[in-house]
Each structure stands twice: as C-alpha cells, then as structure tokens.
Amino acid sequence: MSKKKKLQKFADLLSFPNVYENFESNTPELVHFEDEDVEMAGLWNKNHFKNDNKITLELACGGGEYTVALAKMFPDRNFIGVDIKGARIWKGARIAVDEKISNAAFLRTRIEYINLFFEKDEIDEIWITFPDPFLRDSKVNRRLTSPYFLKKYRQILKKGGTIHLKTDSPELYDFTVNESIPEIDFVKLLINHDDIYSKPLIMPELDIKTFYEHKHLANGLTIKYVRFLMG
C-alpha cells in the first residue's frame, strides 16, 4: 500500500463514528469522530452502543473481519476490534459503516494499554485471532496469551469470562496450553484442538475465516483453537 493511501485511511478513521484512537499511552483519552476527545472506560455500552448487551473484544483484529462477522452473527451482542494498525482497522470500520452494523466498533491502540480503556468487569469475552506468535524467546511477553497479557485481561474481563485463541502457529498453541495457562492460577483451560477442521466444528464462530486463514489453509497449515476461562 502506498504512503498516500495509508495517510488517506488514517484521515478517514477520524470521520468514522465507530472508531476510537489513542495517541498518548499514558492517558485514557481517546480521539473520536472529527477530533473529539472522550474517555470511554465503563461507558462503551452507554455512550457508544446505546444498550446493555454483552461486550466481546477481538484483539489484534487486523482488517476486522472477525469483528464484523461476529457482529453479524450475534446482533444482540456488542463487538470491539482492537489493533494498532489504522490502515488495517479502516477496512472493518468502513464495512460496518456502509452496512450499518451498529454493534461493531473499533479501537486503535496498543494492546499493552488495553486496561486504560475499559473498566473492571466491562468485558464478557475476548477473541485473539491469528496474532503474531513472536517466536523469539526474548519476545515472550509480547505474545498475547503470555502471563503478562493475561494479567491485563483480568483487569477488564468479568470473572468467568472466556478467552478464545485461534492460530496457525504450533509454537503459540503449545506455549499457551502447556506453559502460559498452567502458570496462572486464575486461568482454567477449557478446550484445546490442534486441528479444528479435522472434525465437526464445536461452535459456528470457528467457521469464520479471515484473509490470512484462507492463505494458511491453502498452504496446508492446520488451525488450532484454545478456549480458557478467567477466574
């Protein structure tokens, strides 16, 4: 993508009513809709969605394909896609605006700061879809299922809330199931499959396929799934 196109998409984001952006990591303020500064922690349902429905986050949402598809699949729930890449978020936000999908929103920020933008118990569920596995040992804390991030999620996820991981990476799958989850006493492993398409899918949400998942499958990779509960 050319620099000009990226800059245009960054500008477009501020014209989308379903996009919130954070530019200062030490503040909970978000920029929204033509440069309006807002604080949304504890207020997503009241001020944005205008309902009391449960909220699901999709972390590392990329182009927002999962966020939009989940919002269509479950119109009685609210969904927020989170990613730092504005040019990626643009796609999902544009689709949601054009198709009037009012239960899908997007937050552009670093996931390390996720606890700044939501209050305790505000989130019911988290999806982590095809994140960067950060294979180097020196970057273990950047893996989105590392104990570092699980402790962040506990600050905003309701007790008993579920986290879903969908990945093509055997290393991230193994790390999550055999290292990270056992290390944290408030996390309970519920389900793990190392090849979800080798048998009937256990839930319709797993049949949503992103652009990258289609590529992974075309290349002969298997798709893994982990579900765990936050205590």
One of 37, 52, 124, 132 is an active-site residue; which one? 132
Residues 6+ apart with CB under 8 A from 224: 165, 166, 167, 168, 169, 170, 173, 192, 193, 194, 195, 196
DSSP, collapsed to helix, strand or coil, labels residue 198 as helix
- Strand segments (E) across the chain: 19-21, 29-32, 36-39, 55-59, 78-83, 104-108, 123-129, 157-167, 187-193, 224-230
Amino acid residing at 96? A
Q: Burial-class residue 174 by CB neighbours within 10 Å (0-12, 13-18, 19+).
A: middle
Strands 19-21, 104-108: pairing is parallel
**132 has catalytic annotation:** yes
DSSP 120: T
Q: Which residues are catalytic?
A: 132
